[in-house]
Structure 1
C-alpha cells in the first residue's frame, strides 16, 4: 500500500506521543497481524492467477470473443472466510500485477481494485469503477454511456486486471433484467477487441449463483473459500493456533492441544477461517497488552466479549452448553441483512 508523505508525518506524530513500551507492544502485534497464513485453497488461487496472466500473454485477438475460463476468477465464501486478505496477498505476489515505470518514466498500475457499492445498479457499478480510477464523470450519465466510458478509461489507464470486492452487491438486489445487463457488461469487458482485461470477483452468496448463468459460466473459474468443518478443519485450526501463538507471537499455550477448546473456537467464529485467525490474534494481543507469556482461555473469552458485546452466559469460551450459543459472525450477518433490507425499503 502506498503511503503519502502527509500520512507518514501523521503516523510519525502519533508514534512520538506513545510511551516506548506501548510502542514496542503495538509493533509486536502489527508484525503478528502482518503474517499471512496460507491453506491448500491458496494453491488453487495461485494457479488461477497464473493461468489468468498467461492468458493475456498468449492472447489472440482473432479469438477474443471465444469463451475462456481464464478470463474471470471468482473467490466465493461467507464473510470472514479470508477472501480479501487472500486476494491482497496473491495480487502482491503476482509480478505481472505490480506497479511499474513505463518508458516515459510514468508509474503505472495494471490493477484496479474496487468495491461494489451497496445498493448497486449496473450504472452505479461502472460509476464506482470510474471513481476508483479518479475519472470525473456525472453520476446521472446514461447507463450505456457510463459503461462505454468505463471501458475507455480502463484502456487509457492500461488496467489489465480489475478486482471487484463485495461483488455480490451487484446482483443481490437486482432484478432479472439488471442481472443480465451486469453479466453482459462483465463479459464485454473481458472480450474487448483492442485491450486484454481480466476480472477477479470476490463475494458471498448470491455471487456463486450469478456466475452460473450462461454468459459467465464458461468464462469463470470459481474458487470456494469453504468453512472449517470436520476433523480436518479441527486439525488445521489447532495447527494455526499453535503457529500464531508460538511462532508469530513467541508466546506459549496448551490450548492448541485441547480438542474441546478448538471446537469452541471454530463454533464461536461460525467456522470461518478469517474470523478464527482474527480471534486468535485478538487473544494474543490481550496477552501481550497484559505482559503475559502464556495465552489462556480467559483471553479468548475476553476477546469474544469485546468483539460481540455478549454477556458471560452467551460467551462460547465460558458456558457449559457452548454448542447452543450463537456464533457472533452469524448474528452480525443477520443484522447486516436486516439493515440492508430496511435501507432498500426506505429507498423504494
Structure 2
C-alpha cells in the first residue's frame, strides 16, 4: 500500500467526480441551449448570412456553473449532430484568466478548437479572429464556452475591455461561420458584457440562484441521500432533519456546488472509518480537515452557525475572538 494513497478517499472521488445531480436549472440551461443551437443549425442549413445568439450563465463561485455546462457540452459533443458541412457539431471550452489580452484570447481560442497558434506569429486582431473562424469551420466547432469570463475584464482599462468585447462580437457576427458563445462567471460578468450593446442584445441570460430555505429542504435531502446511496452508505437519523440541512446549507454558503463538495468530503471520511453509515460527525471531520477550525465551532456544532458563517465568505467564520 502506498503511503500517499488513501483508498477510501480515492474510491469516493472515482465514484462521484462525474456525477451531476439533476437540479431544475440544468433543464432550463439545456432547453435554452437547444433553442439557440436549433436556430443556429437552421440558419446554417439555409446558406444565408446570419448573426447567432449566445448564452450568459452567472452565479456565485461554487454554485456549480462549470460542472453543469461541462456536462451539457459533453452530451452535446457525444450526440454527433450532423452539420451541413458533413461534420458532427461540437463545442470547444476555454478558461479565461486576468492576464490575457485580446491576442491571448485569440491564441487560447485556437488551442480550445484544437489548432495551436504559434506564440511568435505576428497577426493583427482581424487576422487572428479570421483564423479562429476558419479553423472552427474546418473542425465542425459551432461554439466556444468561455469559463470564468469575468477574469479577462478585471483590471483592464476601457480600451482593452472594448477590444475584448469587440473580439467576442466578431466571432458571433462572422459572415462565414458565426460561433455560439457561452459565457460563464460570477454576477459582475453581466456588467462587463453590457458595455458592448451590440453584443449584449444577442445574449440570453440564465442565473444560477442560491439555495432558498425552506423551499429547497427536500432537494438538499435528495442530494445527500443520493450521494450516500451511490457510496453504499446508510444515513444516520440525525442527518435527515431540517436542522442539519440548514447547517449544511449555511456551511456551503447557500451554494449548490459547495454543499455537494461538503457531502462528498463527509462520505470520504465515513468510508475511511468504514462505518457503513453517514453521520453528522463525518461532516464535522470534513469541515475541520478543510478549515482547521475547532470542532466545537463548525457550522454543524455551533449554536450561532447562521451568523458566524456568512453567505459571502464560504468556509470563513466571522468570529472575532
TM class, shorter-length: 0.7 to 0.9
Residue range with higher mean Cα deviation, 74-83 or 244-253: 244-253
Stretch deviating more after TM superposition (272-281 or 288-297): 288-297
Q: Which digits, 9 at most, give the CA deviation of each residue in 1:266-324, with x for residues without a partner?
A: 11111110010010111011111111122111110111122223333542222222123
Counterpart residue number, 2:75: 93
Matching residue of 1:64: 50
Change (3 A) 1:125 1:313: farther
Is 1:55 the counterpart of 2:39? The answer is yes
- The offset of 1:168, in angstroms, is 0.9
**How do 1:1-348 residues align onto structure 2 when only pairs under 5 Å count?**
26-27=10-11, 29-59=13-43, 60-65=46-51, 71-94=53-76, 98=80, 110-132=90-112, 133-138=114-119, 141=122, 142-213=124-195, 214-246=197-229, 249-326=232-309, 330=313
Structure 1 residues 18 and 138: CA distance shift in structure 2, 3 A: closer
Report deviation, 1:53.
1.9
SS in 2 for 1:111: strand
Report if the CA contact (8 A) 1:124-1:139 is conserved.
no
Distance 1:183 1:89 in 2: 27
SS at match of 1:229: coil
CA contact (8 A) 1:119 1:173 kept: no
Q: 2:107–2:117: 8 Å Cα contact kept in structure 1?
A: no
Q: Distance in 1 between matches of 2:280 and 2:78?
A: 44
Pair 146,308 (structure 1): closer, same or farther in 2 beyond 3 Å: farther
Structure 1 position 63, deviation (Å):
4.7
TM-score, reference length from structure 1: 0.78
2:93, 2:145 within 8 Å by CA — same for their partners in 1?
yes
Q: CA deviation at 1:138?
A: 2.3
Q: Structure 1 residues 231, 263: closer, same or farther in 2, change over 3 A?
A: same
CA 1:98–1:255 in 2, change beyond 3 Å: closer, same or farther? farther
Greater Cα offset, 52-61 or 274-283? 52-61
> Could you say if the C-alpha distance between residues 80 and 28 of structure 1 is closer, same or farther in structure 2, counting changes exceeding 3 Å?
closer
Give 5+ residue unaligned stretches, structure 1: 1-16, 334-348
Alpha-carbon deviation of 1:29? Answer: 4.8
Contact kept? 1:84, 1:165, Cα under 8 Å: yes
For residues 231 and 127 of structure 1, the distance between their equivalents in structure 2, rounded to whole angstroms, comes to 47
Task: Determine if contact 1:249/1:284 at 8 Å carries over to the other structure.
Answer: no
TM-score between both structures, scaled by the size of structure 2: 0.84
Q: Is the 8 A contact 1:314 1:325 kept in 2?
A: no
CA offset digits 1:108-166 (Å, max 9, x no partner): 77221110122232222112222333423226744444333333332333311211111
SS across alignment from 2:276: coil
Secondary structure of residue in 2 paired with 1:261: helix
Give yes or no for contact 2:247–2:305 (8 Å, CA) kept in 1. Answer: yes
Q: How far apart, in 2, do the equivalents of 1:255 and 1:51 lie?
A: 44
Structure-2 change in CA distance of 1:139 and 1:184 (3 Å) = same
Separation in 2 of the partners of 1:209 and 1:30? 38
Number of aligned pairs? Answer: 309
